[in-house]
Each structure stands twice: as C-alpha cells, then as structure tokens.
C-alpha cells in the first residue's frame, strides 16, 4: 500500500529540536518542548517537537498520510502515538530560530492520528561526538560543515498519520 501523500525534507535540529506545526499555530509550547527531551517526541495537538541528541547534523523528516493506521516498522528504534490538528491543512517543519525547513499540504484540514517513530539518533550522536573530539584550531569552518554533511548515518523522524476527523468548529 502506498501513502496518500508524502513529504520529506532535511532539517537542522536547532537547539536539538525540530518542530512540526499547523501553519496558524505560531505560539511555541515550552512544556511540550521540554517533554520531548525525555520522550523524544511530544506535542500539544498543534505542535510536535522531535528531540535530537545533537544540534549540528541535519535530520530527515518524513510525513506520510495513509488511508488507514499503519504498524510501526521493525527498523524503528522508538515510537509514540500522536495526534496533530491542522486547521489550515498546511504543516510547517520548523527549525526554531533557523526558520522553516519546509511545508506539507495535507489532503484536507483536520485531525490526524498515528505514530511518530525514529531511527539513527544514537549513531548520529556517536558520529557527532567523535567529530567534536577531532576538531582543533587547524580546522576551517568549511571542513567542519563538510564533515557534518558527510555523516554516514541518517537520523530520521517519521510521522505515519491517517485522517481521523474534521477540526472542531471555533467557539467564537
């Protein structure tokens, strides 16, 4: 079975965090961001935060929309159930102070439920920490940047979602 829609991008985990949020959900959620440090993924329904173990190597973010809930794949190193509401039908993949890494147009606005899963966190951290031990005063910034880009491991965060229901009407 193929996903109904899929979007993949690369994002730098600014302050070790990548966020996904509805295009109209501008306000950050400090409690959810803090919870992601312990849970890897945490959110408040409009914002999701992925917590990486490093902040220099880009991570892969993959959002897949399915017609029905999906099983967590065997290659997942961890996972958690999630729900995400998008009143606009547009999800933003954000890099905190670095700005958006991309946007995904959902098939329709509404509440999506599913699983967030990840892999490659520990391998990327080991590479990151090993590289930090090697860097000395003779390294040029271009060398360091190239070394981050050439990480042989992919740290990946995946959202496997399916449409659950329309958004609740506003109570104005």
Residues 103-147: tens digit of each pLDDT = 999 999 999 999 999 999 999 999 999 999 998 889 999 999 999
Tell me, what's the pLDDT at 97? Answer: 85
Cβ atoms of residues 109 and 65 within 8 Å: no
Helix runs in the chain, H state only: 30-39, 121-134, 141-149
In whole angstroms, what is the distance from residue 18 CA to residue 118 CA?
13
Q: Are 119 and 75 in contact (CB under 8 A)?
A: yes
**Could you say which DSSP state residue 14 is in?**
B
Of 163, 130, 164, 155, nearest in space to 50 by CA = 155
Per-residue pLDDT at 155: 97
List, in sequence order, every residue forming a beta bridge with 19; answer none if it has no partner: 49, 94
Specify the pairing of strand 59-66 against strand 156-165. Answer: parallel
pLDDT tens, position by position, 43-86: 998 999 999 999 999 999 999 999 999 999 999 999 999 999 99
Q: How far apart are CA 62 and CA 73, in angstroms?
A: 14
pLDDT value for 172: 56
Residue with tokens 């547009």: 90
Tens of pLDDT, residues 129-140: 999 999 888 999
């Amino acid at each position: 079975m193929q996903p109904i829609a899929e979007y993949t991008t690369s994002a730098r985990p600014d302050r070790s965090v990548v966020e996904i949020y509805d295009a109209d959900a501008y306000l950050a959620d400090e409690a959810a961001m803090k919870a992601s440090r312990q849970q890897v993924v945490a959110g408040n329904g409009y914002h999701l935060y992925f917590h990486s173990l490093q902040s220099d190597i880009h991570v892969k973010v993959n959002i897949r929309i399915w017609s029905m809930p999906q099983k967590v794949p065997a290659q997942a190193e961890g996972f958690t159930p999630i729900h995400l509401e998008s009143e606009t039908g547009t999800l933003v993949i954000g890099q905190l102070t670095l700005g958006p890494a991309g946007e995904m147009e959902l098939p329709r606005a509404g509440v999506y439920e599913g699983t967030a899963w990840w892999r490659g966190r520990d391998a990327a951290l080991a590479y990151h920490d090993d590289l930090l031990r090697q860097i000395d005063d003779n390294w040029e910034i271009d060398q360091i940047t190239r070394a981050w880009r050439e990480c042989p491991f992919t740290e990946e965060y995946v959202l496997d979602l399916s449409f659950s229901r329309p958004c609740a009407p506003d109570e104005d």
